[in-house]
Chain A
Amino acid sequence: MAEDRGILREVWEGKVPVSFTLSAEEVSTYEHPESCYLLVPRHSYFPLFLDKLQKHFINYVNGDESDVWLENTNTNQPIKWHYPVGVLFDLLNSSHSLPWNLTVHFKNFPDSIFRWNNRDAIESHFMSCIKEADALKHLGKVISGMQIQHHKQLWAGLLSDKFEQFWAVNKKLMEGDGDESFKSIPFKIYQGDSRHIQKLFKPQNERGDSKTLRDMIQEVAPECFDENGELNQKIITHGIEMPLESDIIWLSEHLSYPDNFLHICLIPLE
C-alpha cells in the first residue's frame, strides 16, 4: 500500500536545475542570448518545456521552431526525451554538476529521438507506459476498469504538477489485487547509454517471502556483483543510492515514477 505520504511527497517534489543554452553556431544575431534557467521536476518530460525555450530563443535563430531538440552539453549527445527528466539526469549527469547544462538546437534534428512537438503524442506515450506497467502488476485489470476521465486526471496532475490530483487516481494503480500483491514488478534498468534492461520479475519467491532490491539485481543484472558479493555499480533512482535490503514491493509502490515504472540507473563506481 502506498501510504507513506512523506516519502511520496519528497519524491514528487524532486526538481533539478537545468541551464539551457542556445547552440552558438545557430545564433543569427550579433547579440548572444542569455541562457535559460529552469527548475524541472524529475517526474516530468523535457518536451513539455519546449514552449518556454522557443519563446526564449526564437528571436535569435533562423531555424524552424518545430525542429527544436536538446543536447547534453558535456557529451554532445541528443537527449532521448521520452524518458523522465530524473532518469536522464541520473544517467547522463553522472558528475552531478549543478546546474545541468543542455544545449538547445533549432537545426539538424537527429534521427535517434522522437519528434514530439505536440502534447497529445507525449500523453499517449505516458498512458501507454502506465498501461504496460498495469499489465505487469494486475494483468491490466485496474487501468482498463478506470473511466477515461481518470486517465485524463493522471495526465492533468502530471502536467500541472499537482500531487493530490495525480495520487488520487494513481493510488488505485499502486494497490494490490485483493490479498495478492503485484504479479510482477514493472521496472527498467539503465546502464550507460545502451538500451535499458526489462524483464519479468516476481516480487515473491516460492515460499511467499518478499524479495528485496538485492534479489532483483542479482536475478536481472548479476554482473553488478563481483566474486565477493560486493557491488561494483551504484544503484541509483531519483538521484539517491538505494539500500539493497529495501523491499521490492515497497520500492515499486513508493519510488516508481508517475509512469508506474521503477527506473533504476546503474552508475559505475569511480
Chain B
Amino acid sequence: MAALTWRNTVYLKLQERNNSEREQYRTVIESHCKLYDITENLKKKTATLTDDINRLRQENLELQRNVIEGGGRSDKQLEQKLLKAHEELKDLYKKRGENAQALIDLKEELQIKEKDILSKDLRISELESRLNAVKLANEHLESDIAEKETTNTILKDELMGLQMAYTKAEEKIMKLDKENKTLIDRWMNLKKEAAEDLNKENEMFRKRKQEKLKKDIQDAISNPVEIKEGSIHAPSGLFAGALSRIPSRAIAKFDAHDSEVFGLKWAPSGKYFATVGGDKQVKTWEKIGSSIEKKALFTPCFNRSVTSVDFDEDEKCLIASSNDCSTQIWDLSTRQLRVRLTGHENKVHSSKFVSGHGINKVVSGSQDKTIRLWDVANKLCSRTFCPGSTCFDLVAYGENIISGHFDGKIRIWDSQAQDSMTNIPLENKTKLLTCSRDHCLKITDFRQNRVIITLHDDNFRISNDCSRAVFSPDEKYVLAGSNNGQIIIWNIAKQSVEYRSEKEHKGAIQACSWNPNGDGIISCDLKRGCILWGDF
C-alpha cells in the first residue's frame, strides 16, 4: 500500500504539472503560432503587392517619357538630314579638288610618256641600222659555213681511206699473232726435247757412275785389302763435342755461286759442306789438298734464291728451302730429289730436319708468318703454327721447336701439344744462341727462361735479318760473321772476343759453319765468296 501511495503521489503530481505547464499554454501557443503564420503570409502578400505597384508606376513613367520624346523627334531628324547634306556637300567639294589635282598629274605623266616615245623611236631606228649590219655579217658567215662544209666532206673521204688502211693493218697483226703462236709452240717443243736430252744425259751419267762403281768393285775384289786394327775412323756423328780449335788464317778462298751465298753448312761427318745461293743452286764441296773442289750440284734447281740448307743427323739427306715458297729434300747418296714440299704462301726462310725423327719430320718457317711441320713420308703438312710474325730461323729438337721472329721474340712450340708453350724442359741442350738486329748475340737459358749472356763487339754488325751465328762444336765459343767481312769468335766463359779475323771477305758475311770435328770454319758472303779458315 505504501508503494501505491508514493506512486499515486507521483502520478498526481505529474498530471498537475502537465496541466499547469502544458495544457494552460497549449491553446495559447498554438493560436499564437497560427496567428504568426497568418501575419507572415499577409506580410509576404503585401510585399508582392507593393512590388507590383512600384513596377506599374515605373512603366507608367516610361510611357509618359516616350510620349514627350515622340514630339521632338521630327525636328531633330530634319536637322540631322541638313547636317548630313552639308557633310555630303563638303565631301563633293573635296572630291572635285582631288579630281583637278589628278588631272594635272595625268597631264604631266602624258608629257613624260611622249618624251619616252620619242626616245624609243630613236632607239628603234638605231637598232634597225644595227640589224642591217648584222644581216650582212650573217650572210658572210653563211658563205663561210658552206666553204667549211666542202672541206669537211673532203676530210671525211680521207677518214674513210684511213679506216680501210687500218683494217688492213689489223688483219696483218692477226696474221703475225698466228705466226707468233706457231713459233712459240715450236720453241716449246724444242725445250721439251732439250729436257729429254738432259734426262737422258742424267741417265747416262748414272749409268756411267754405276759402271764405274761396278768397275771399282771389281777392282776392289781383284785387289784384296788388308785391314789393320784401329784404322777405322769413327763415324763423323760421334765427333760432336770434339775440341774446337780457333783458326788463325784463311786457307782457301773460292767463289761458290754466281751471286750471293745465302747459306752453308758442314755435313755432320765434317768431310764436306753444302752451300746455297742466289743463283738458285744447291752445291756440295770437298776440300782436296789446299783447294776446295765442287763435289755435286743438286738438281732440279729452285726457281728462285735458295735461303737455307741443312743435313739430317745420319747424313742421309739434304734439305734446302727457297724464296719460291718451296722446300726440297735430296738423297745424298743418289743425289736424286726425294720430296718437294710446297704449301707456304711466301718465302721460306729456314727449314730443318727435326732431330730425333730421322728424315721423316721437317719444320719450316716462312715470310707468310706461319711455321709448318711436314710429314716427309706422306709428303704433306701435318701441322701449321700461326705465330703472327715472320719466322727467320728455327731450331727443332725432339718435340720442341724454337723459332726466332721479326717481332724480336723467340717462340717455343711443342709439336704434340695443342698450344704454344714456354718453359719446356730440355734435357741436355738448355742454351739457345740468338743473333738479332741490335748487333748482339744473346744466349738464353731455358731452365731460367731468360737471357744469361749477351755478346757484342764494336766491329760486329750483322748484315740482314737472315744472318746466322753458331756455337762451336764443344760449345765453348760462339762464331758469327760481320758485315765488314770479318769473322768473330767469342769465348762464352770469358764473355769476350777470342779471335777477330782480317777482313778477308769482299762483302757482308751471311752465314758461317764450324766443322763438327772442331778444326775448320767456313763462312760465306753476299758477294759470291766462301772462305775456309784454319790454323794449318
Q: Using a CB–CB distance below 8 Å, which chain A residues touch chain B?
A: 4, 6-7, 10-11, 13-17, 34, 36-39, 98-99, 238-243, 245-247, 250, 255
With a cutoff of 8 Å between Cβ atoms, the chain B residues found around residue A39 in the complex are 22, 25-26, 29
On whether A241 and B13 interact (CB within 8 A), knowing A39-B22, A99-B25, the answer reads yes
Q: Is the CB of B14 within 8 A of A15?
A: no
Q: Name 8 A/B residue pairs within 8 A (Cβ), A-sorted.
A: A11-B14, A17-B22, A240-B13, A240-B16, A241-B13, A245-B6, A250-B7, A255-B10
- What does the 1/0 interface line of B1-28 toward A look like (CB < 8 Å)? 0110111011101111110111011101
Q: Is the CB of A242 within 8 A of B21?
A: no
With a cutoff of 8 Å between Cβ atoms, the chain B residues found around residue A98 in the complex are 20-21, 24-25
Q: Is the CB of A16 within 8 A of B11?
A: no
Q: Across the interface, name the chain B residue whose C-beta is closest to A241.
A: B13
With a cutoff of 8 Å between Cβ atoms, the chain A residues found around residue B3 in the complex are 247, 250
Q: Across the interface, name the chain A residue whose C-beta is closest to B11.
A: A7
With a cutoff of 8 Å between Cβ atoms, the chain A residues found around residue B32 in the complex are 37
Q: Is the CB of B29 within 8 A of A38?
A: yes
Q: Is B452 an interface residue (CB 8 A)?
A: no
Q: Is B36 an interface residue (CB 8 A)?
A: yes
In the bound assembly, the distance between CA atoms of A116 and B348 in angstroms comes to: 114
Q: Which of B10, B18, B29 contacts A242 (CB 8 A)?
A: B10
In the bound assembly, the distance between CA atoms of A239 and B24 in angstroms comes to: 16
With a cutoff of 8 Å between Cβ atoms, the chain B residues found around residue A38 in the complex are 29
On whether A240 and B6 interact (CB within 8 A), knowing A37-B32, A99-B25, the answer reads no
- CB-CB contacts below 8 Å: B31-45 with A: 32-33, 36, 39
Q: Using a CB–CB distance below 8 Å, which chain B residues touch chain A?
A: 2-3, 5-7, 9-11, 13-18, 20-22, 24-26, 28-29, 32-33, 36, 39
Q: Which of B17, B24, B33 contacts A14 (CB 8 A)?
A: B17
In the bound assembly, the distance between CA atoms of A34 and B38 in angstroms comes to: 13
Those 6 A-B pairs whose CB atoms lie nearest each other, nearest first: A17-B25, A240-B13, A243-B6, A10-B14, A15-B22, A37-B29
Q: Is the CB of A246 within 8 A of B21?
A: no
Q: Is the CB of B17 within 8 A of A239?
A: yes
With a cutoff of 8 Å between Cβ atoms, the chain A residues found around residue B7 in the complex are 4, 7, 246, 250
| B199 CB to nearest chain A CB (Å) | 129
| B13 CB to nearest chain A CB (Å) | 4
| A82 CB to nearest chain B CB (Å) | 22
Q: Which of B6, B14, B17 contacts A246 (CB 8 A)?
A: B6
Q: A7-B10, A34-B39, A39-B22 are in contact. List 7 more A-B contacts (CB 8 A).
A: A14-B22, A17-B29, A98-B20, A99-B29, A240-B16, A243-B9, A247-B6
On whether A7 and B21 interact (CB within 8 A), knowing A37-B29, A39-B29, the answer reads no
Q: Across the interface, name the chain A residue whose C-beta is closest to B29.
A: A37
Q: Which of B14, B25, B29, B36 contacts A7 (CB 8 A)?
A: B14
Q: Is the CB of A238 within 8 A of B14?
A: yes
In the bound assembly, the distance between CA atoms of A238 and B15 in angstroms comes to: 11
Q: Is the CB of A14 within 8 A of B18?
A: yes
Q: Is the CB of B21 within 8 A of A239?
A: yes
With a cutoff of 8 Å between Cβ atoms, the chain A residues found around residue B5 in the complex are 243, 245
In the bound assembly, the distance between CA atoms of A10 and B7 in angstroms comes to: 13
In the bound assembly, the distance between CA atoms of A109 and B125 in angstroms comes to: 114
With a cutoff of 8 Å between Cβ atoms, the chain A residues found around residue B17 in the complex are 14, 238-240
Q: Across the interface, name the chain B residue whose C-beta is closest to A11.
A: B14
With a cutoff of 8 Å between Cβ atoms, the chain A residues found around residue B36 in the complex are 34, 36
| A13 CB to nearest chain B CB (Å) | 6
With a cutoff of 8 Å between Cβ atoms, the chain B residues found around residue A11 in the complex are 14
In the bound assembly, the distance between CA atoms of A242 and B17 in angstroms comes to: 13
| B15 CB to nearest chain A CB (Å) | 6
With a cutoff of 8 Å between Cβ atoms, the chain B residues found around residue A247 in the complex are 3, 6
With a cutoff of 8 Å between Cβ atoms, the chain A residues found around residue B16 in the complex are 240
Q: Which of B9, B13, B14, B21 contacts A17 (CB 8 A)?
A: B21
B2, B21, B26, B29 — most chain A CB neighbours (10 Å): B21
| B1 CB to nearest chain A CB (Å) | 12
With a cutoff of 8 Å between Cβ atoms, the chain A residues found around residue B26 in the complex are 15, 39
In the bound assembly, the distance between CA atoms of A242 and B189 in angstroms comes to: 163
With a cutoff of 8 Å between Cβ atoms, the chain B residues found around residue A37 in the complex are 25, 28-29, 32-33
In the bound assembly, the distance between CA atoms of A37 and B17 in angstroms comes to: 19
In the bound assembly, the distance between CA atoms of A14 and B26 in angstroms comes to: 12
With a cutoff of 8 Å between Cβ atoms, the chain A residues found around residue B20 in the complex are 98
| B14 CB to nearest chain A CB (Å) | 4
In the bound assembly, the distance between CA atoms of A7 and B36 in angstroms comes to: 35
With a cutoff of 8 Å between Cβ atoms, the chain B residues found around residue A13 in the complex are 18, 22
| A1 CB to nearest chain B CB (Å) | 13
In the bound assembly, the distance between CA atoms of A243 and B11 in angstroms comes to: 11
In the bound assembly, the distance between CA atoms of A137 and B32 in angstroms comes to: 44
| A247 CB to nearest chain B CB (Å) | 7
With a cutoff of 8 Å between Cβ atoms, the chain B residues found around residue A10 in the complex are 11, 14-15, 18
In the bound assembly, the distance between CA atoms of A5 and B11 in angstroms comes to: 11
In the bound assembly, the distance between CA atoms of A16 and B21 in angstroms comes to: 6
In the bound assembly, the distance between CA atoms of A250 and B32 in angstroms comes to: 39
Q: Is the CB of B15 within 8 A of A14?
A: no
With a cutoff of 8 Å between Cβ atoms, the chain B residues found around residue A7 in the complex are 7, 10-11, 14
In the bound assembly, the distance between CA atoms of A39 and B18 in angstroms comes to: 12
In the bound assembly, the distance between CA atoms of A14 and B33 in angstroms comes to: 20
Q: Which of A15, A34, A241, A255 contacts B21 (CB 8 A)?
A: A15
| A7 CB to nearest chain B CB (Å) | 6
In the bound assembly, the distance between CA atoms of A163 and B25 in angstroms comes to: 21
In the bound assembly, the distance between CA atoms of A226 and B7 in angstroms comes to: 26
With a cutoff of 8 Å between Cβ atoms, the chain A residues found around residue B15 in the complex are 10
Q: Is the CB of A6 within 8 A of B11?
A: yes
With a cutoff of 8 Å between Cβ atoms, the chain B residues found around residue A242 in the complex are 10
| B257 CB to nearest chain A CB (Å) | 126
With a cutoff of 8 Å between Cβ atoms, the chain A residues found around residue B6 in the complex are 243, 245-247
With a cutoff of 8 Å between Cβ atoms, the chain A residues found around residue B10 in the complex are 7, 240, 242-243, 246, 255
| B221 CB to nearest chain A CB (Å) | 145
With a cutoff of 8 Å between Cβ atoms, the chain A residues found around residue B18 in the complex are 10, 13-15
With a cutoff of 8 Å between Cβ atoms, the chain B residues found around residue A245 in the complex are 2, 5-6
In the bound assembly, the distance between CA atoms of A232 and B203 in angstroms comes to: 171
With a cutoff of 8 Å between Cβ atoms, the chain A residues found around residue B24 in the complex are 98
Q: Across the interface, name the chain A residue whose C-beta is closest to B25.
A: A17
| B474 CB to nearest chain A CB (Å) | 121
Q: Is the CB of A240 within 8 A of B14?
A: yes
With a cutoff of 8 Å between Cβ atoms, the chain B residues found around residue A99 in the complex are 25, 29
With a cutoff of 8 Å between Cβ atoms, the chain A residues found around residue B14 in the complex are 7, 10-11, 14, 238, 240
Q: Across the interface, name the chain B residue whose C-beta is closest to A239.
A: B17
In the bound assembly, the distance between CA atoms of A13 and B33 in angstroms comes to: 20
Q: Across the interface, name the chain B residue whose C-beta is closest to A42.
A: B21
In the bound assembly, the distance between CA atoms of A7 and B17 in angstroms comes to: 13
In the bound assembly, the distance between CA atoms of A11 and B11 in angstroms comes to: 9
